[in-house]
Amino acid sequence: MITNKNCIIRLSRYKNALYRLQALGFVKVFSDNLADAVGGTASQVRKDFSIFGISGNKKGGYQIDSLLEKMNSILGKDQLQKVVVVGAGHIGSALMRYRGFEKEGIKIVAGFDIDPAKINRSNPVPVLPLEEAKSFIKSNGIRIAILAVPDIAAQQAADLICASGIKGILNFAPLGLKSGDGCIINNVNLEIELENLIYFVNVTEKTK
Amino acid sequence: MITNKNCIIRLSRYKNALYRLQALGFVKVFSDNLADAVGGTASQVRKDFSIFGISGNKKGGYQIDSLLEKMNSILGKDQLQKVVVVGAGHIGSALMRYRGFEKEGIKIVAGFDIDPAKINRSNPVPVLPLEEAKSFIKSNGIRIAILAVPDIAAQQAADLICASGIKGILNFAPLGLKSGDGCIINNVNLEIELENLIYFVNVTEKTK
DNA sequence: ATCATATTGTTCTATTTTTCACAATAACAT
DNA sequence: ATGTTATTGTGAAAAATAGAACAATATGAT
């Protein structure tokens, strides 16, 4: 089993680059093309492919359509992924309206909030009371949730949805969460991302 | 010079955890407390500190306030960071309204968009025409930008703001950008984050 | 048919990152 | 004062990751 997160992230990037190349009319691709496209080395592309059991043709490179097929299968994109958003504040609402997930086979099917003012059952993506989250998640077999609640509420909300059957949480709360049982948490911390960027901008300024 | 991005990210996490501990009334902290708080090992906490030249007291742990002072200085948080958002769509607008940056000393001072319908000069965070970005960035000495435009427009927008003096871009467009000259690009790719989460949820389901 | 060439796939090497282990030592107890 | 203990700080070991190198080989040229 592959545990290298960066490796999986590269796989996603390869896939995205391949779609762009395909749209431009390319049918096959070489490891160095792909390396260029995602900003890596040709060696690493081939190494990654080898890890995933993807093979090409000596001197002939890789067929883009068959590459995409394999990658999509590895990434679990052969079936629509239904996702819920917990927290309908600025970030949560923006994610519910964001169209970028559709082309990736990811569909946000509902949002949840404790604030009655945020409830709206007739939205394209309905926003429901948090109390309904458990039954909704269970009856729809949802496994993935996006958590976009204020940090104070984050752990409690995480516990709730984990107990409801959620297996993976993309956490936007600026706070590390404890995940009980078999629930995986990936953090997207915008403050930290910006801080990080600021740090590297500062140090490169200084050393210049 | 430290080039290890994860190390800097951990530093931010330590800092955030320290603020929480401080709010709870703690005055000093030990490496294993911090490790618990951020989900790491005590060894790594001490090693990280050692890398940054942060030292504590044998048997006495670390004084939280002095730790925070040093970390904030390393992370460049001794001065307010002014940031602009390019692209006032769902994500861009949500970021402009997001309050979480303030407490980190990060202030979004303006947004920019090409769509005249999005322009609003009287907003708390004004949204201005993209044509004004260059002069605004230059005259206000902005170094950091958040890029939240559709992928088609991303490279062009990145080039524009780099040429205007931006030194670091937090890129939300689901696309790797080429950065000319001395501009650093950090990518936040939500589709890839979700894909990654789905992958790991799938593999842990299978192996269970 | 043979040769030259381009490209993969994989092994081996180098680098980076994390973890372990323990000496040094400050605080506390007796 | 002396001894005991808890905790840091760091050097060395281990693990993980990335990169280089090159043999294998399919393709196309002559």
End-of-domain residue from the set B74, B89, B118: B74
**What's at A64, amino acid-wise?**
I
Kindly state the helix (H) or strand (E) to which residue B42 belongs, with its residue range: helix B42-51
Same structural domain, A117 and A153? yes
Q: Does the residue A204 lie in any domain? A: no
Same structural domain, B133 and B180? yes
A178: closest CA among A198, A201, A162?
Answer: A162
Digit-by-digit pLDDT tens for chain A (208 residues) are: 888 999 999 999 999 999 999 999 999 999 999 999 999 999 999 999 999 999 999 999 999 999 999 999 999 999 999 999 999 999 999 999 999 999 999 999 999 999 999 999 999 999 999 999 999 999 999 999 999 999 999 999 999 999 999 999 999 999 989 887 789 999 999 999 999 999 999 999 887 6
Cα distances (Å, whole numbers) of residue A106 to A80, A141, A174, B132:
6, 14, 24, 36
pLDDT over 80 at B207, yes or no: no
Same structural domain, A88 and A162? yes
Same structural domain, A53 and A86? no
* Local confidence band at B208 (pLDDT 50, 70, 90 cut-offs): low
CA pair distance A202, B103, nearest whole angstrom: 20
The answer to whether the C-beta of A30 is closer than 7 A to strand C is: yes
Same structural domain, B67 and B19? yes
Write down the pLDDT at residue B123: 95
Same structural domain, B21 and B115? no
* Local confidence band at B56 (pLDDT 50, 70, 90 cut-offs): very high
Write down the mean pLDDT value for chain B.
Answer: 95
Same structural domain, A150 and A104? yes
Q: Does the residue A174 lie in any domain? A: yes
Q: Does the residue A121 lie in any domain? A: yes
Q: What is the CATH number of the domain that holds A22?
A: 1.10.10.10
Q: Does the residue A108 lie in any domain? A: yes
DSSP string computed for B95-118: HHH-GGGGGGTEEEEEEEES-GGG
CA end-to-end span of chain A, whole Å?
43
Environment class of residue B172 by beta-carbon count within 10 Å: exposed (0-12), middle (13-18) or buried (19+)? buried
Q: Does the residue B135 lie in any domain? A: yes
DSSP string computed for A41-56: -HHHHHHHHHHTT---
Given a contact cutoff of 8 angstroms between Cβ atoms, the answer to whether A7 and B192 are in contact is no
Q: For A3-9, which contacts have Cβ atoms below 8 Å and span 24 or more sequence positions?
A: A5/B196, A5/B200, A7/A48, A7/A51, A8/A75, A8/B195, A8/B196, A8/B199, A8/B200, A9/B192, A9/B196
Give me the torsion for CA of B94, B100, B105, B111, rounded to 10°.
0
Write down the pLDDT at residue A207: 76
B residues 98..117 contacting A (CB < 8 A): 98, 100-101, 104, 106
Helix axes A90-97, B90-97, angle to 10 degrees: 180
Give strand ranges (E) for chain A.
28-29, 62-63, 81-86, 106-113, 127-129, 144-147, 168-171, 184-187
Which nt is closest to the CA of A59, judged by C1'? Answer: C7
A81: contact with B, CB 8 A cutoff? yes
Same structural domain, B86 and B188? yes
Give me the torsion for CA of B59, B63, B68, B70, rounded to 10°.
-70
Same structural domain, B163 and B68? no
Q: Does the residue B205 lie in any domain? A: no
pLDDT over 90 at B181, yes or no: no
Write down the pLDDT at residue A2: 86
- The Cα of A54 is separated from the nearest Cα of chain B by a number of Å equal to 17
CA pair distance A77, A130, nearest whole angstrom: 28
Write down the pLDDT at residue A157: 97
Write down the pLDDT at residue A14: 97
Cα B100 to chain centroid distance, Å, stands at 11
B1: closest CA among A118, A203, A59?
Answer: A203
| Inter-chain touch B193–A188, beta carbons under 8 Å | yes
End-of-domain residue from the set A38, A55, A74: A74
Q: Does the residue B202 lie in any domain? A: no
End-of-domain residue from the set B55, B74, B93: B74
pLDDT over 80 at B42, yes or no: yes
User: Structural domain of residue A65, as residue ranges?
Assistant: 5-74
Q: Strand D positions with any atom < 7 Å from protein CB?
A: 5-11, 16-21, 24-27
Write down the pLDDT at residue A208: 62
Same structural domain, B86 and B177? yes
Same structural domain, A53 and A98? no
Same structural domain, B87 and B166? yes
Q: Does the residue B159 lie in any domain? A: yes
How many domains, chain B?
2
* Local confidence band at B184 (pLDDT 50, 70, 90 cut-offs): very high
Q: What is the CATH number of the domain that holds A157?
A: 3.40.50.720
Which nt is closest to the CA of B61, judged by C1'? Answer: D7
Environment class of residue B180 by beta-carbon count within 10 Å: exposed (0-12), middle (13-18) or buried (19+)? exposed
